[in-house]
Structure 1
Amino acid sequence: MEIGTKVKKLRELRNFTQEFMAASLEMTPSGYGKIERNESEVSYQKLEKIAEVLGIKVEDIVNFNEKMVFNIMNNNNSNNGYVVNNNAMSDNEKRLYEELIAQLKEENSTLKKFIEKLHEK
């Protein structure tokens, strides 16, 4: 998925309009629309500004995968309205997330030990 498409999907998830994004980025709506349609190149500086408006990091835009987003449905018969597509991730993506989770657990453990040492003093 191209950057512009990712930006569009993330904007839609925030319920922001193209006009709001354009105004926040000090752009014309047509100029911003070209970004979402992948008709113009996006500089890293512009991507930083877009991420700031969306309240996320540039990495979140670059790594965005719409298959990872939960679909909220108004159906009370399916897990409180949340449906997860278990086949949405490739094996490689699953491995990467498992590695990330393991790394975060290790960091969490290290931070807990550090906090304990601070309380001892």
Structure 2
Amino acid sequence: MEIGTKVKKLRELRNFTQEFMAASLEMTPSGYGKIERNESEVSYQKLEKIAEVLGIKVEDIISFNESLVFNVMHNQTGITNGYVVNHNSISDNEKKLYEDMINQLKEEVLTLKKIIEKLQEK
């Protein structure tokens, strides 16, 4: 997914209009629209400003994956419209890497405990 598309999805999740974003970024609505349509390059400085308006980090924009987001609508009381990011969805490969790392760290802890025991015996 291109940066402009990610920005658009995140803006929509915040229920912000293109006009609001453009005004907040001191741009014309058509200029901002070009960003969302991936018709213009986005500098890192502009991305920082976009992230600030959206209340997130630049990294959140870059790593945004719409399949990990659920819309949350709580309209009975009119309290909230928002989103929840599901960080529990990791690939099998990523899961295996984490499990391997955990096992390696467990082995390291055991080794260090043995070293500590030997040092305490002296």
TM range (shorter): 0.5 to 0.7
Q: What TM-score results when the alignment is normalised by the length of structure 1?
A: 0.63
Q: Which residue of 1 aligns with 2:70?
A: 70
Q: In angstroms, what is the RMSD of aligned CA positions?
A: 2.9
Q: Which residue of 2 aligns with 1:81?
A: none
Q: Which residue of 1 aligns with 2:110?
A: none
Q: How does 1:21-36 map to 2 (within 5 A)?
A: 21-36=21-36
The percentage of aligned residue pairs carrying the same residue is 87
Deviations 1:48-82 (A, max 9, x none): 000000000000000001111124478xxxxxxxx
Looking at structure 2, the residues matched to 94 and 37 of structure 1 have their Cα atoms a distance apart, in angstroms, of 34
* Structure 2: gaps (5+ residues): 75-85, 103-122
Larger Rg: 2
Looking at structure 1, the residues matched to 8 and 37 of structure 2 have their Cα atoms a distance apart, in angstroms, of 8
Count the aligned residue pairs.
89
For the structure 1 residues 29 and 93, does the alpha-carbon distance in structure 2 shift closer, same or farther, using more than 3 Å as the test?
farther
* Aligned 8 A contact 1:67 1:89 in 2: no
Q: Which residue of 2 aligns with 1:109?
A: none
* Structure 1: gaps (5+ residues): 75-84, 103-121
Looking at structure 1, the residues matched to 36 and 19 of structure 2 have their Cα atoms a distance apart, in angstroms, of 12
Write 1 or 2 for the structure with the bigger share of strand.
Answer: 2
Deviations 1:99-118 (A, max 9, x none): 8xx8xxxxxxxxxxxxxxxx
* Counterpart residue type for residue 7 of structure 1: V
Looking at structure 2, the residues matched to 33 and 91 of structure 1 have their Cα atoms a distance apart, in angstroms, of 37
Q: Which residue of 1 aligns with 2:5?
A: 5
Q: What TM-score results when the alignment is normalised by the length of structure 2?
A: 0.62
Per the TM alignment, residue 90 of structure 1 is displaced from its structure 2 partner at its CA by: 3.3
Q: Which residue of 2 aligns with 1:90?
A: 91
Q: Which residue of 2 aligns with 1:78?
A: none
* Counterpart residue type for residue 27 of structure 1: M
Looking at structure 2, the residues matched to 24 and 72 of structure 1 have their Cα atoms a distance apart, in angstroms, of 25
SS at match of 1:49: helix
